[in-house]
Amino acid sequence: MTVEQRYGDTDTMTQPETTTPTTQRYEEARAAARRAMTSVTLIPDKPLPPAVTETERLAYRGFKFGAAFFGWLIMLSMVVLLTASLTGIGAGASYVLDYTRTDARQQAGTVAIAAAAVFVLMVCLAFYIGGYVGGRLARFDGARQGFGVWMISLVLIVIAVGAGAYFNNQYDLVSRVDRPNVPLTNDTLITGGLITAAAVLMLPLLAALLGGKTGQRYHDKIDALLD
């Protein structure tokens, strides 16, 4: 800034105004800002990760033994838990209703059908939960993980039955079992046993497949949101 002399003054030269503290601080701030701008280092944007190819995606698909095995462990624990719970409920109900063993023998057919139905439902629920865990762990192909849970169970049952047949042939274990005297004919027992075996064989398979697909849906929803 400059200051001019008033009219009538003999000195017509302009004189510079003395620097004030405010002006000095302003200039120092400008210089500091200029130094800061010149010292900034520009970092280029990071390149986007390459898109996942179909070959890489296929590597995560298919049957995963680890997921199926842990699903089978959960299924087995659920069988134990449900069996204990239903046993306690049945004992409590029989005590409250005063339902004795004599009453059960008189209604042997009804009791057998009810027991078989409850057993099949319990096993189906356990396999559904096991398949769900397997499908949730594997993320892809939940139905295959559910099938794996069922297949592991089937293989172990076949091994157990074979070992039982071998030891029974050697030591005649079946004849030592004190079987209850049920007022049902052998044909009725065989027919009911075959129907129950078929139901226990097929219905848990469907439950495990459904559980695996349900467990996979969680990851499908996340993938849909990310896409």
134 pLDDT exceeds 80?
A: yes
3 pLDDT exceeds 50?
A: no
Rounded-to-integer distance, Cα 205 and Cα 157, Å: 14
Predicted TM-score (pTM) above 0.85: no
Rounded-to-integer distance, Cα 158 and Cα 141, Å: 26
* CB 131, CB 207: distance < 8 Å: yes
> Other C-beta atoms within 10 Å of 112: how many?
18
Rounded-to-integer distance, Cα 175 and Cα 41, Å: 88
183 pLDDT exceeds 80?
A: no
> Other C-beta atoms within 10 Å of 150: how many?
26
Rounded-to-integer distance, Cα 129 and Cα 195, Å: 24
How does pLDDT run across 48-100, given as a tens digit for each residue? 666 555 555 666 678 899 999 999 999 999 999 999 999 999 888 888 877 77
